[in-house]
Structure 1
Amino acid sequence: MLSRTIRPFSTAIRKCNSTWFGDYKSNIALYPRWQEYLRATRPPVLAVWGSGDPSFASAGAHAYRKDVSDAEIHLFDTGHFALETDGPAIAAVIRDFLSHKGCYEFEQEARK
């Protein structure tokens, strides 16, 4: 059970989700290309996930480590719309990630 709930979906969000879910098969077909890209380039990877997401299980976040072993994974006690319930905490995780990955320009801009 999630510790928090989000506001009800707006009509626009429902329409967007329906369109996206309807075309998800084309997204899945691209997974091998994404995985090859991750293995070949090993970019910094940050996955911030809702542990109670009914659309994307937590295993999906951990799967990034198959391609980038040092991927940073953060699970929050929330659902699919993690930014709705944990926005400030997630923003802090992102700032920390960018800072320790050497993105100093971002860090300086964020402080202005």
Structure 2
Amino acid sequence: DYARMGQFILEGAKVQGQGILPEGWLQDATTKRADIGKPGRGYGYQWWTYDDGSFAARGIFGQGIFIDPKRQLVIASNANWAGGASSPKESEAREAFYQAVQKAVDAEAAAAR
């Protein structure tokens, strides 16, 4: 279900071609509204944002939906981190995974040219 939700958001939150959110809201929600003290990252309306235009929903125990519109990419993850997000180790590993997938997608696209 996380992947379907991510794909739904990637496709503009539309049902049968009709948007279900107010015009412009999704763009506003996934745009950096607050600085979180980490380079290249921020926070929108319940979405964690990245300067490259990607964004993510992140749960305290490792659940996540990462959406990269530029690459047409959705990554859904489910986890049960012991202690929640109190340790940065798991969060950093998740970020590294997202970046590795982005690089792999870029490499595949470059090879196809």
TM-score (norm 1): 0.30
Rg larger in 1 or in 2?
1
Q: Which structure has the highest strand share of the two?
A: 2
Higher relative contact order (CA 8 A, sep 6+): 1
Q: Which structure has the highest helix share of the two?
A: 1
